[in-house]
């Protein structure tokens, strides 16, 4: 089932870390914008996969080597509350390479690239003098993409792989920036 209100309630119950919540909202809007271009009939599914992909992030014992459970644990929770569908579950698992779930669908491909670009754009925003996302230019994103030491944790290969959906990286950068600017207040940027 696709129900954004229920998804937000579920997120509120399980994900407590503020920056992860903001990250979830950011990936949701980027996924929604990508869906409009690639698979408009599945916009709600793509948005929901983005919103919920890190639902279990506060529940996983990463220090104990449980990284591979990040994704499958979310699916377990979503099944319990009857939220989502198999394609959403697959995309949520595929966004974490440690699960061994292969990228197959367009939705899988989109979330793999949308996940890192949100953190990347946030990092770029924070080096602007006013720290406002409304000031960020697309050119900064394409330039920083080549500076591998800047926000080194943002996976360049994953972000660049959006081209496999027929979207050039500058277009992806613009679409993601516009989407995040649209919810600047919620993101605190
Ligand atoms: Fe994420």
Structural domains in the chain, CATH included, are 4-184 (1.10.3210)
Per-residue pLDDT reduced to its tens digit, 57-93: 999 998 888 999 999 999 999 999 999 999 999 999 9
What is d(CA 31, CA 45) in angstroms, rounded to the nearest whole number? 9
pLDDT mean over 108-112: 98
Ligand 1 centroid to Cα of residue 154, in Å, is 11
What is d(CA 85, CA 82) in angstroms, rounded to the nearest whole number? 9
**pLDDT reported for residue 123:** 97
From its phi and psi, is residue 129 left (phi > 0), alpha (psi between -120 and 50) or beta? alpha
Per-residue pLDDT reduced to its tens digit, 129-188: 999 999 999 999 999 999 999 999 999 999 999 999 999 999 999 999 999 999 999 999
Q: How far apart are the first and last CA of the chain?
A: 32
Ligand 1 centroid to Cα of residue 83, in Å, is 19
What is d(CA 100, CA 18) in angstroms, rounded to the nearest whole number? 28
Give just the sign of the alpha carbon dihedral 63, 64, 66, 70: negative
The three-state secondary structure class of 22 is helix
Ligand 1 centroid to Cα of residue 128, in Å, is 23
**pLDDT reported for residue 1:** 75
Ligand 1 centroid to Cα of residue 142, in Å, is 21
Q: Which of 1-5, 48-52, 82-86 has the lowest mean pLDDT?
A: 1-5
pTM of the complete model: 0.96
């Amino acid at each position: 089932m696709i129900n954004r209100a229920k998804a937000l309630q579920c997120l509120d119950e399980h994900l407590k870390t503020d920056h992860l919540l903001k990250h979830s909202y950011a990936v949701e809007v980027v996924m929604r914008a990508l869906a409009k271009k690639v698979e408009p009939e599945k916009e709600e599914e793509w948005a929901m996969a983005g919103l919920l992909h890190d639902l279990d992030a506060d529940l996983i014992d990463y220090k104990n080597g449980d990284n591979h459970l990040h994704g499958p644990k979310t699916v377990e929770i979503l099944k319990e509350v009857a939220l989502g569908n198999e394609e959403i579950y697959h995309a949520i698992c595929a966004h974490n390479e440690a699960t061994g779930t292969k990228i197959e669908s367009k939705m899988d491909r989109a979330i793999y690239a949308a996940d890192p670009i949100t953190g990347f754009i946030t990092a770029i925003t924070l080096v602007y003098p006013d720290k406002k996302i409304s000031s960020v230019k697309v050119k900064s994103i394409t330039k920083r993409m080549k500076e591998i030491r800047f926000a080194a944790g943002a996976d360049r290969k994953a972000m660049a792989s959006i081209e496999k959906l027929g979207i050039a990286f500058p277009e992806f950068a613009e679409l993601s920036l516009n989407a995040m600017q649209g919810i600047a207040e919620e993101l605190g940027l």
